[in-house]
Amino acid sequence: MPTYDSSAGQQDPTLAALFERFSQADACWFGSTRPDGRPHLAPIWHVVHAGRIFVVTQRKSVRSANVRTNPAVSLSLADTSNALIVEGTAQPAPERRAELQPLFQAKYNWDIATDPDYDDVLEVTPRKVIAWGSHGEGRWLLEAP
């Protein structure tokens, strides 16, 4: 299975195209696990920046509570015939809000800096990418930073 070390700038061209496809998608499905072990899956807007996937959610959301208990997450695009799945770990990243504001503004015309209801930034560090169909075929393990 190919690996990707973002610090060395070495990336399989298929993997680079997959992250670009993920970046361009309107939304993704975000899967997390409740403290009692039940899964939680819901769509959400996202941006890809500096090798990470970011979402902005409500601090009181199920998703937010779940990642604080169990940081393991899965994200995927909706097309089941052309799968693109990212597994990784999520963590709160409130310090990235100002840096991400122009990205969410450009992609969604949404100013996360002035939206008081969406008060939680989550940063997902990808650890594994799985794809098949028109996006390419493969599994990639990503090096921890």
pLDDT tens for residues 44-68?
A: 999 999 999 999 999 999 999 999 9
3-state secondary structure of 120: strand
Domains in the chain with CATH codes: 3-142 (2.30.110.10)
CB count within 10 Å of CB 69 equals 11
Count of Cβ atoms closer than 10 Å to residue 78 Cβ: 13
Q: Can you give the pLDDT at residue 145? A: 55
Q: Give the model's pLDDT for residue 4.
A: 42
Pairing of strands 138-142, 3-4: parallel
* Residue 40: predicted pLDDT: 98
3-state secondary structure of 141: strand
pLDDT value for 1: 36
pLDDT of the residue at 91: 98
Alpha-carbon distance of 8 to 11, in angstroms, equals 9
Alpha helices in the chain (DSSP H): 13-24, 62-69, 97-108
pTM of the predicted model, to two decimals? Answer: 0.91
pLDDT < 50 stretches in the chain: 1-9
Long-range contacts (CB closer than 8 Å, 24 or more residues apart) made by 5-13: 5/143, 6/51, 6/142, 6/143, 6/145, 7/143, 7/145, 12/140
pLDDT at 9: 45
